[in-house]
Structure 1
Amino acid sequence: MHSAYQPTAPAANKYLQKKWDQSKYEEHRRKVVKARPVVDTKGFQTPAHLHLKLKKLQLEEERLATIERDNHILSSKLSDIMRSKGLVDHRNSYPERSLNAEKRRQQLQEVTRENQGILERITNQESEYRRQRWEEDWERTERCRDDIARYPRRVTNQQRYKKVLFQQDTDLNEKQTSSSLDSEH
């Protein structure tokens, strides 16, 4: 088929013929949509007593009344509970105590004894780490680092120690001056 419009009747101008055909088709579609049936197919009207089932309405009303009554009873019970803070209204005043309190107390004592034993074993255990050996290893590591370093590290270490020593010396000097002042008075 060709992509251009092919009119059914010969026409001098295909564009105008297409426009006229399109408008006729749209008018036809509007008439089809607005068309009303000529034959009455609705059927006869059902009598009102068949639509309205009185027994069903009565059963529904009874069911709703039962639900309403139950809701009222429940709401009154809830309001009583809210007023009484949920306490039970009986005359038997039993003390509240657990049935297995003794067993729980024994278990607690047993766990406490076990924990004490574990703590004692831990505190009596000799440490597997030797502090002296760690310090010697650290000194050896620092010596290796000093030997490998591009710039001398000992100067900065000495300065660091001097600062600490200087601070300690000032603290000692302050203590000595304060003690000498106290002895003069």
Structure 2
Amino acid sequence: MKKQKFQEQSMSKIQRENNMLLEKISHIMRTTGRIDNRNDYENKSLCREMQQQELLRITKDNQLILLRLTQCQPHYSIKDWHEDWLKTIKLMESIARYPRRVSQSYRDKARPVMKSSNTETEEKDSLHAEQSSHSSITHNGKRGV
């Protein structure tokens, strides 16, 4: 009987302590607790204001340069460059040992022409014939039979 009473008292004491600990833990979870260990120090730069002024100056300079670049006219003509390139292609074709098919595509891009369905089939046939004639050239530059 005494043993059972002693056990009940110890169990009630343990339960009461557990409830107190639970209350303390829940209070800490709801609030920040008793100890405040946050570091509220902010880094202070000695030349922060000077750095910001320098950044503003650089930004203004960049905007002025951008404005000047967008307003200036080009010194070179794209049309002249393109015409010069076409002349170069013609010269390359005139001195080349074998005809170049790449230059033909450049010439086609330079002079776009409206094509009908008949001319497309004729061009395909001529291109096929040209490719077959190029494939019959042997390594020494002579045509094979």
TM-score interval w.r.t. the shorter chain? 0.3 to 0.5
Larger of the two Rg values belongs to structure? 1
Q: Scaled by the length of structure 1, what TM-score is found?
A: 0.31
Task: Return the structure number with greater relative CO, CA threshold 8 A, min gap 6.
Answer: 2
